[in-house]
Amino acid sequence: FSSPQTWSFSVALARAKAYYRTRYQQEEGAALQGDPKEVSQSVARKAYYRYALEEVSKGEVSEDDSGAERVELKRLARGGDQVRKTFLYTERAYPVSSGEGGARLHSWEGCPGYVAGSPAGRGSLEGLEQGLYGECPVCGFAMRSLGRVAVPSTAIESGFEHHYLAVVEASQDYSDAVSKLQESRSKLEEAASSMQESFKKGLGSLAGARLNVQPPGRYGCVVIVVAGSAVASIGESFVGQRTELGTRMALSAATLADDPAVDQAEVLQGIGERLIPLEALTGGMAKTLFGAWGSALAAYSSGVEGVGAAVDSVLGSIPLVGTELSSWVGEGFSSAVEACNLQPAELRALKPVLCSTAAVLEADGGSVSQGLLKAKQGAEYASQVSLGDLSQVLELLESVDVGNPDASGAESLVLATLSLVA
């Protein structure tokens, strides 16, 4: 397996089932020919492998809703004391004979001791230890025969029973750890839910309340130059003959256009990094908090998507938060942001450009702008500026309040307050 994450206790369980199934099928047992004591030991091994296969087959490995494994593996008996607690001790699976020496228990019907006597039914190791019948001196089948089958393999590191026992113990440690994890997870989810509720309330107060500043001159600016008296033409560089210049009015306009060469998110991020460079922080929660601040600055320019990305970034930087839990928390925050319909702030980088005067005047729609536009259109239609046009323009300009544009007298406007608590 490439990593612990790709391994499962179900792998160990499947291997144990296959191992004991194979050992049971390959063990000859009563079919073995040769020394009666060797045959008796083979019978004991086959009986133990049958028991082991039945026990490991009772094991279960499943996954709960969180993806954690629920493991229940069965321990196998080793040694006489543990075998006495299994069906191997009580099952009446072995032949009993009667003869001159009384009733005796044998491991199989082919035992010379059994053949020499008379069949007397079936018996168990429990009956043997209770004295209901004696031990056969030929095959030597007794409690020790079964008790010592698994002991050597369990005691040495190369034995399968040794590794299976280690897996069983590890599964119990794992189950204990999962229980503690679920308890801790519940506490974390409770805390995260509380945070999400507070976050939703905070966002609720912001819903539809993004600052939309519309200062004077937001559509551009118009410069007006008016000459009301006639003057003689100076020089002959631009006209063929001397003439008199009448009343004159000149208009020029400029506005702000997008500057695609500047990324507002990079500008905001740069501001945060210049205030507190992340490399100046050694690490820990302080670095995470200031990293969150930088992400929040960038998210300010991108609305819902930016806030969601910022939350994912911060959660991903905390090593104690697992992938699954951080994903769950992130989804909760993203849902809250989407429900709030938080829109991106208008933070485009702009640059001044010259433009048509009519475009600025039409965009404003105010009485002054519309009056200037009308005078401009009249002059264009008549190909000259009349005294009436000039008089109208001057009256419009005199009506403009050029005093303090901040009528409230406030010296500053607070856009946002960021509180950082270490």
- Are 162 and 227 members of one domain? no
What token pair was written down for 256? 């702000």
Instruction: Give the highest mean pLDDT range of 49-58, 188-197, 278-287.
Output: 49-58
Residues forming a β-bridge with 198: none
Average pLDDT of the chain? 75
- Are 156 and 225 members of one domain? no
Q: Mark which of 162, 178, 194 sits at the end of a domain.
A: 178
* 283 Cβ contact list (under 8 Å, min separation 6): none
pLDDT (tens digit, 9 = 90+) per residue, 207-266?
555 556 667 777 888 888 877 666 666 555 656 666 666 667 787 889 888 777 656 555
Confidence check: pLDDT of 344 > 50 = yes
* Number of compact structural domains in the chain: 2
pLDDT (tens digit, 9 = 90+) per residue, 175-188?
888 888 888 877 87
Q: Which of 20-24, 34-38, 390-394, 403-407 has the lowest mean pLDDT?
A: 403-407
pTM of the model: 0.52
- Are 131 and 225 members of one domain? no
- Are 70 and 9 members of one domain? yes
CA distance 318 to 321: 6
Q: Give the CA radius of gyration of the chain.
A: 47
- Are 227 and 156 members of one domain? no
Question: Could you tell me if residue 320 is inside a domain?
Answer: no
> In the prediction, which pLDDT does 418 show?
46
Question: Could you tell me if residue 291 is inside a domain?
Answer: no
> In the prediction, which pLDDT does 87 show?
95
- Are 133 and 19 members of one domain? yes
Confidence check: pLDDT of 11 > 60 = yes
Question: Could you tell me if residue 414 is inside a domain?
Answer: no
What token pair was written down for 247? 């009343």
pLDDT (tens digit, 9 = 90+) per residue, 113-149?
999 999 999 999 999 999 999 999 999 999 999 888 8
- Are 53 and 105 members of one domain? yes
- Are 24 and 149 members of one domain? yes
> In the prediction, which pLDDT does 161 show?
87
Question: Could you tell me if residue 208 is inside a domain?
Answer: no
pLDDT grade for 408, boundaries at 50, 70 and 90: very low
- Are 250 and 129 members of one domain? no
Contacts for 377-383: CB closer than 8 Å, 24+ residues apart: 379/249
Confidence check: pLDDT of 273 > 80 = no
- Whole-number percent of the chain with pLDDT over 90: 30
Residues forming a β-bridge with 232: 244
What token pair was written down for 228? 């009301």
What token pair was written down for 187? 């506490």
Question: Could you tell me if residue 71 is inside a domain?
Answer: yes
State the sign of the Cα–Cα–Cα–Cα dihedral 88, 93, 95, 98. positive
Mean pLDDT of 193-210: 64
* 99 or 281: which leads in pLDDT: 99
- Are 154 and 55 members of one domain? yes
Cβ count near 195 (within 10 Å): 13
First to last CA, the chain: 42
Residues forming a β-bridge with 374: none
Instruction: Give the highest mean pLDDT range of 8-22, 228-242, 377-391.
Output: 8-22
Confidence check: pLDDT of 285 > 80 = no
Mean pLDDT of 258-275: 59
- Are 33 and 118 members of one domain? yes
With tokens 């100046």, the residue in question is 280
* 26 or 407: which leads in pLDDT: 26
> In the prediction, which pLDDT does 412 show?
46
How far CA 252 is from CA of 23, 59, 356, in Å, comes to 99, 88, 8
20, 46 Cβ separation under 8 angstroms: no
Starting at the edge strand found earlier in the chain, the sheet holding 350-355 runs: 221-227, 248-258, 350-355
- Whole-number percent of the chain with pLDDT over 70: 57
* 345 Cβ contact list (under 8 Å, min separation 6): 210, 211, 300, 301, 303
* 21 or 305: which leads in pLDDT: 21
State the sign of the Cα–Cα–Cα–Cα dihedral 351, 353, 356, 361. positive
How far CA 379 is from CA of 87, 256, 390, 393, in Å, comes to 115, 27, 10, 12
Which element (helix H / strand E) includes 257?
Answer: strand 248-258
State the sign of the Cα–Cα–Cα–Cα dihedral 3, 8, 11, 13. positive
* 269 or 370: which leads in pLDDT: 370
- Are 160 and 227 members of one domain? no
Question: Could you tell me if residue 35 is inside a domain?
Answer: yes
Percentage helix, strand, coil for the chain under 3-state DSSP, each rounded to 5: 50, 10, 35
State the sign of the Cα–Cα–Cα–Cα dihedral 73, 77, 82, 88. positive
> Domain limits at 369?
221-231+245-260+349-398
* 88 Cβ contact list (under 8 Å, min separation 6): 47, 48, 51, 77, 125, 146
Question: Could you tell me if residue 421 is inside a domain?
Answer: no
Question: Could you tell me if residue 240 is inside a domain?
Answer: no
